[in-house]
Amino acid sequence: MQVRSGIAVSPGVVVGQALVLGSENFRIPKKFVVRDAVEAEIIRFRTALDHVCTDIEENEVLVADKMGERYAAIFSAHLQMARDPKIVGEVESLIKESKYSPEYAVSRTLRGFAEQMQNLGDQYLAERALDIFDLEKRLLRELLGESREELTNLTQPVIILAHDLTPGETATLDPKYVLGFATEVGGHTSHTAILAGALEIPAVVGLGRCLAGVSGGETVILDGDHGQVVIDPDAPTFQRVKDSQARNLRVSERLESLDNVVSATQDGQRVHIYGNIEFPEEVEHCSKRGADGVGLYRTEFLYLGGNREPSEEDHFEAYCKVLKACGDLPVVIRTLDIGADKVPARIRDRFADSQNPMLGLRSIRLSLQSTPLFKVQLRAVLRAAVHGNVRVMFPLVSSLLEFRQARMILMDVMEDLEDEGIEFQRDLPIGMMMEVPSAVMLAEEFAREVDFFSIGTNDLIQYTLACDRSDPSVAHLYRSGDPSILRMIQMVLKAADKHGKPVTVCGQMSSDPRFIPLLLGLGLRNLSATPHSIPRLKEVVRNISIPEAKRIAAHACTLDLARDVEHYLLGELGRICPDLVV
């Protein structure tokens, strides 16, 4: 049994068969060959190996010509490895003796060698393991050829283990077949993590390099509550999982009864809980849980699937679908937040030179530089707004000028629509995300100009603590409970209050029941969260009074370490709603 720990990003405990995605996210299922086909399969492997060796030789000559022998030596090392009788012998023996398919045998053998190298405790040798992965990639590419299976074509339930999944890939996962997934990279609020929550697929990210020795087909327990992945579990571990699944089911069933109950504190203070969505289909997840509307619609996901630029009609249709499902309830449409880890494949070149995409051309910055693209979306938002209760929100605003420019473009679009005689909604609230420290520092000035704020704690934490939200190596520093974050929330609330502007928190912090007493105590009455977390949030709201929340917030604000704040809040949650502490 092997136990790997990472970051829990989407709850639920599942058991299933591992499907390991290779470095190019090839699927490597554990397939067997029939006895009669063994010889043919060995020949197929040898042919693939010959092609790979010829390829490497050609690379070697090319590089020697262009860059000199020194660089070409990299390829002679690859060639040596590809021809190593030990490696070749082991692959062939797995095909012959264990009747494994050549793809599975290659992957299993090479990953075994790579793992041994990584474990020798020598940095140089550990890095050579990358050469082995490169060889694996070449061989699999050759073997799988056109028949490479796509993640979208799964036919059996699996738990996906991968080095990384992009938000685009994650978006295409089918929850019917993907029981859960775990990745070596990723952080608490990476967009892949957020999507896992949206799709309600249990997930663990940030496992660190650990999949070299796993080749697929193993039984895996994925614990999205505690951030653990167990490979080949033993009997007592299985039992623990069964208990924990039964307990989760009991709590979820009990919480279902809250779906149609209004969310108000014990002393009758109404707290609006909205849903965060990425796709129009998710609006059903919100309605089912009795959400008060959509507090954050991440429209950029319209760009991440598909291979063409969405048209104005594509936008319009998607928005109308959400509005229709919401009736009179508010829907906050956030304009495009493309960039950083959300880059559509077809425009990836435009971002290729960015050394630091989280600080680069992202979000409103991109929209302001690409006015035609921005206007297509704004036209659709204004037209769709006729059919519902729409609020428009600009992301990643870092200066007043940006907000004014974005609003000006919105006004221009209104004039265009008017000139063209197209029906649209002129009076809709215009707000902004509060997710950049510079905006928080100028909250007073912004509060005079905006209609509402929505605090995006995912980015606010990242930019305040200088801590990449997707990087597992700094995940321990990425803390919602950091006193600086509490103080920033207070600053936004104070400025908004002075100018009578409403505030919502829509970052992942508001999907975490631990932080609800704190947020209520600080003065928040609007939360926007991952739909599946809504029942838990309601449970906290209904079990606390505002004076009690104020007392908790006041104490949390006296603590000067994130660790102490989070520990204290967990203790309070355990007291208020013991069932919710897993």
Helix, strand or coil, per DSSP, at residue 382: helix
Return the residue matching tokens 């030596």: 73
Q: Nearest distance from residue 404's CB to Mg ion, in Å?
A: 20
**Beta carbon nearer to Mg ion, 177 or 351:** 351
Q: Nearest distance from residue 297's CB to ligand PEP, in Å?
A: 10
Helix, strand or coil, per DSSP, at residue 386: helix
Q: Which of the listed partners (ligand PEP, Mg ion, none) does 384 bind, with a CB threshold of 5 to 8 Å by partner kind?
A: none
Q: Are 134 and 43 in contact (CB under 8 A)?
A: no
User: Of the candidates 227, 190, 183, which has an alpha carbon nearest to the alpha carbon of residue 206?
Assistant: 183
**Beta carbon nearer to ligand PEP, 101 or 335:** 335
Q: Are 1 and 228 in contact (CB under 8 A)?
A: no
Please indicate whether residue 191 is annotated as part of the active site. yes
**Beta carbon nearer to ligand PEP, 6 or 395:** 395
Contact between 457 and ligand PEP per CB under 6 A: yes
Contact between 337 and ligand PEP per CB under 6 A: yes
Residue type at position 507: G
Dist CA 21 CA 25 (whole Å): 4
Q: Nearest distance from residue 378's CB to ligand PEP, in Å?
A: 19
DSSP 530-546: -GGGHHHHHHHHHT--H
The residue from 435, 482, 539, 566 that contacts ligand PEP (CB under 6 A) is: 435
Q: Nearest distance from residue 456's CB to Mg ion, in Å?
A: 4
Pick the piece of the chain touching ligand PEP (CB under 6 A) from 109-117, 313-321, 456-464, 516-524: 456-464
List contacts with Mg ion (CB under 5 A): 435, 456, 459
Contact between 458 and ligand PEP per CB under 6 A: yes
Please indicate whether residue 506 is annotated as part of the active site. yes
Per annotation, catalytic residue among 78, 163, 188, 191: 191
Per annotation, catalytic residue among 188, 506, 532, 577: 506
Name which of residues 98 to 127 contact ligand PEP (CB under 6 A).
none
Q: Nearest distance from residue 100's CB to ligand PEP, in Å?
A: 42
Q: Rounded to the nearest 10 degrees, what angle do helices 69-82 and 123-144 cross at?
A: 70
CA distances from 1 to 109, 180, 221, 237, 416 (A): 19, 19, 11, 9, 64
Name which of residues 288 to 307 contact ligand PEP (CB under 6 A).
296, 298
CA 481 to chain CA centroid, Å, is 21
**Beta carbon nearer to ligand PEP, 440 or 506:** 506
Name which of residues 136 to 195 contact ligand PEP (CB under 6 A).
189, 194
The residue from 506, 549, 553, 580 that contacts ligand PEP (CB under 6 A) is: 506
**Beta carbon nearer to Mg ion, 109 or 335:** 335
Q: How many of the chain's residues bind ligand PEP (CB under 6 A)?
A: 12
CA distances from 482 to 189, 307, 341, 358, 444 (A): 15, 40, 24, 21, 23
**Beta carbon nearer to ligand PEP, 60 or 512:** 512
Residue type at position 342: K
**Beta carbon nearer to ligand PEP, 117 or 524:** 524
Pick the piece of the chain touching ligand PEP (CB under 6 A) from 207-215, 283-291, 402-410, 453-461: 453-461
**Beta carbon nearer to ligand PEP, 161 or 489:** 489
Contacts 24+ apart (CB under 8 A), 571-580: 572/517, 573/513, 573/514, 573/517, 573/540, 576/517, 576/540, 576/543, 576/544, 577/513, 577/536, 577/539, 577/540, 577/543, 579/251, 579/254, 579/539, 580/251, 580/513, 580/536, 580/539, 580/540
Q: Are 415 and 382 in contact (CB under 8 A)?
A: no
φ/ψ of 336, rounded to 5, equals -45, 135
Q: Nearest distance from residue 249's CB to ligand PEP, in Å?
A: 29
User: Of the candidates 338, 307, 303, which has an alpha carbon nearest to the alpha carbon of residue 318?
Assistant: 303
Strand order in 228-231's β-sheet?
2-5, 228-231, 219-223, 13-20, 158-162, 178-183, 203-205, 7-10
Residue type at position 205: V
Q: Nearest distance from residue 279's CB to Mg ion, in Å?
A: 17
The residue from 41, 136, 459, 539 that contacts ligand PEP (CB under 6 A) is: 459
Q: Nearest distance from residue 294's CB to Mg ion, in Å?
A: 16
Q: Are 428 and 384 in contact (CB under 8 A)?
A: no
Contact between 507 and ligand PEP per CB under 6 A: yes
Give the footprint of ligand PEP on this chain (CB under 6 A). 189, 194, 296, 298, 337, 435, 456-459, 506-507
Q: Which residues are catalytic?
A: 191, 506
